[in-house]
Amino acid sequence: MSDSVELHLGSERFSYPILTGTENERAVDIAKLRDETGLITLDLAYKNTGATKSAITFIDGDLGILRYRGYPIEQLAEHSTFMEVSYLLLYGELPSAVQLEQFNQSIIRRTLVHENIKKFLDAYPGGTHPMGVLMSTIASLSSFYPNSLIPNRSVEDVDRTIHRLIAKMATIAAWTYKKAIGHPYMYPNNKYDYVSNFLMMMFGHRTEEYVPDPVVVDALNKLLILHADHEQNCSTSTVRIVGSSHANIYASVAAGIGALWGPLHGGANQAVIEMLEAIKEDGGDAQKYIAKAKDKNDPFRLMGFGHRVYKNFDPRAKIIKVACDQVLNRLGINDPILDIAKQLEETALSDEYFVERKLYPNVDFYSGIIYRAIGIPTDMFTVMFALGRLPGWISQWKEMRESNEPIGRPRQLYIGHPEREYIPVGKRKG
Ligand code: ACO
């Protein structure tokens, strides 16, 4: 097979090398294209553009494969914990027992946030969406740790910041919920592991000892693992591009939270539950909503369906569907929207429109039902996604900085006016 491609431009020929990844995926290296030919490539929404070389996550969208650092997602979701997976993503290898304990301790000791953070939270009006609060609070952490503004810091210093951010994200995420329901904030407690500590800060009360339910801890570990990284998606690309200007890590991650918020990305998990609720209220007719989703004059889309990369199935959705049944059974919950979800899935999977377009349930289709079962309110779902995605964002940020990637700066094809003369306001027509 040829290891270069040739471009014929008029009478001239240019050759561009083909690079091959670990799994034999192939890319044309066009780094010299513009210098040599004056051309740029145009690829709206980067559907065919590799923005970087990365050693963190591998996805094969056609085969439904997802691996973190080479380990299949199915094995990690079954046997690992969110903290272990975070270590794996950040440092490239599974930790020894000692390394994992040190990592856990380093994080758990940093979960407390500055008291002034409470003042910010208190100032938001009631009914504020927790993603906005999370985004701005994470950005504001840079004010408390001005060291993070120095672009070239020691490895130890950067590591401390990373552990601090993972630790404080759980506290801030839980406090956005406490703020929303008007309950007093629960301070972190070092005796709990990361996931139990988060649950305690969400659902604990000052007057009684919080005892985490192992079924809930297990389910949450699994959900966070499944969301932990997904290579160059919208929010991760945002984190990398913001970080490429050497903006600090808090600003970079806050930008990623903003990108995740949209309903076409992480916000889909909230949109799925709202859609399922609306279908239930409307009599539970799945068929009617399938027809709406297919109607090009109707803006309605089947939320939780379709994916830019997975065109066969989303491996995370498969794991979540099984976990969803297990969690509801073990907690003894009968949720009618689960039946609607299953009906929608069955109908869509045998419908020509969805089959032709390779639209399958994605990770968000069933995750909201588990979140609901464990007591997490709908508008906190995307916050949960952000909590899960954090180690992925940071690992990608770290990789980008360690490999000294230049500042991200796409080109464009200008389609506006050609040059024209400025006319002072009094002399303009109309
Ligand atoms: N319902 C109905 N039709 C759909 C859906 C859907 N959920 N998703 C895609 N389509 C149709 C489009 O209308 C289009 O049809 P056409 O070819 O006749 O015009 C075709 O399928 C291709 O869709 P695109 O939007 O071009 O696909 P793209 O890769 O750009 O978008 C996306 C992927 C954004 C995920 C899309 O499928 C979608 O909007 N899904 C619903 C939102 C959602 O669940 N997002 C979560 C994604 S997973 C995540 O971020 C964690």
Annotation marks residue 163 as catalytic = no
End-to-end alpha carbon distance in the chain: 63
* Residue nearest to ligand 1 atom 11, measured at CA: 357
Is pLDDT above 80 for 130? Answer: yes
Confidence check: pLDDT of 202 > 90? yes
**Please, which pLDDT band fits residue 148 given cuts at 50, 70 and 90?**
confident
Q: How confident is the model at residue 199 (pLDDT cuts 50, 70, 90)?
A: very high
Cα-to-centroid distance, 208 and ligand 1 (Å): 46
Tens digit of each residue's pLDDT (9 = 90 or more) over 327-363: 999 999 988 998 899 899 999 999 999 999 999 999 8
* Position 1 pLDDT exceeds 70: no
Q: What is the mean pLDDT of residues 107-132?
A: 94
Euclidean distance between CA atoms 50 and 53, whole angstroms: 8
Instruction: Indicate which atom in ligand 1 lies nearest the CA of residue 314.
Output: 48
Query: Which residues have any ligand 1 atom within 6 Å of their CB?
Result: 264-266, 268, 293, 301-308, 357, 359, 362-364
Please give the full DSSP string across 216-275, using - where no structure is assigned.
HHHHHHHHHHHHS--SS-HHHHHHHHHHTTT--HHHHHHHHHHHHHSTTTTTHHHHHHHH
Structure tokens at 388: 């899960």
pTM of the model as a whole: 0.93
In the chain the domains, ranked by start, together with CATH numbers, are 4-50 (no CATH), 69-265 (1.10.580.10), 268-373 (1.10.230.10)
DSSP element (H, E) containing 112: none
